[in-house]
Amino acid sequence: MNTQETLALLEKLKLTGMLKAYQGILAMPVQEQPSIHQFIARMAEAELLERNRKRTETSLKQSKMRYNAVLEQIECSSSRNLHREHLEALADCSYILRGENILITGATGCGKSYLACALGRQACAFGYKVTYLGMVRFLEMITQSRIDGSFVKQINKLEKTDLLILDDFGLQAITPNARVALLQILEDRYARKSTIITSQLPVANWHTYINESTIADAILDRLTGMAHRFELKGESMRKRR
């Protein structure tokens, strides 16, 4: 089998990483081409990297995150009350394995959603399934699923995602059905899956926002019991840009 036939076979087998690596090796001078052991190692590594890239790309697309953000681009400073070592402690995504939550609060424009999406992207890169929902979309989904009979299906879907991001919590009045649904989701996920909540409201005001004492107690107990907190400060990042 000649090199062109090998290239065609790799393409047919959809071994894209190996195909690109083999093309790169063929382009090298003969005296610089790797030994058989190095060759196999390079081909295997290239295929693994390509599969990881595709998996991350697919996860990002399915997550429907609002921003294409990465942790390395997050601006950390004392004025923002955001410190690099705190982010680095979360970068390995081990908090997801422990079922810990992340609560991000601060004024409008301070970068809450961007930070949440950066953490979500990092989770996708580590192979976790991420679902992003703005609270307006979440409330619409709950209302519609009650009408069309898909409520249980939607709840089960959110329960299974490794990292659930609920953005702009408190931006719109929460309905009785949504309160119950949120509690059910958090109960199913407690200590097993992770949830990121962003809100303009301080955590101390969430009980009042939920506006039903018993359910509010239960929701906050499941959210805050094992949670990392970011209270962002400073001027609007949108204004600065």
pLDDT of residue 137: 94
- Quick one: 83 and 142 in the same domain? yes
pLDDT of residue 193: 96
- Quick one: 200 and 148 in the same domain? yes
Per-residue pLDDT, averaged over 209-233, amounts to 94
Closest CA to 221 of 211, 208, 207: 207
- Quick one: 32 and 145 in the same domain? no
Global pTM reads 0.83
Per the structure, the complete domain to which residue 135 belongs is given by 65-240
pLDDT tens digits for range 166-183:
999 999 899 999 999 999
- Quick one: 22 and 78 in the same domain? no
Instruction: Please determine, for residue 216, whether its predicted confidence score (pLDDT) is greater than 90.
Output: yes
Angle between helices 112-125 and 36-63 (to 10 degrees): 140
Report angle CA 76, 64, 143 to the nearest 5 degrees.
115
- Quick one: 113 and 13 in the same domain? no
pLDDT tens digits for range 98-151:
999 999 999 998 999 999 999 999 999 999 999 999 999 999 999 999 999 999
Q: Would you give the distance in Å from CA 126 to the centre of its chain?
A: 10
The highest-confidence range among 11-20, 32-41, 199-208, by mean pLDDT, is: 199-208
Instruction: Please determine, for residue 82, whether its predicted confidence score (pLDDT) is greater than 70.
Output: yes
Per-residue tokens: 236: 């609007």
Which of 15, 40, 62 lies at the terminal end of a domain, its last residue?
Answer: 62
- Quick one: 75 and 53 in the same domain? no
Instruction: Please determine, for residue 241, whether its predicted confidence score (pLDDT) is greater than 70.
Output: no
- Quick one: 112 and 175 in the same domain? yes
Please give the tally of structural domains in the chain: 2
Cβ atoms of residues 212 and 179 within 8 Å: yes
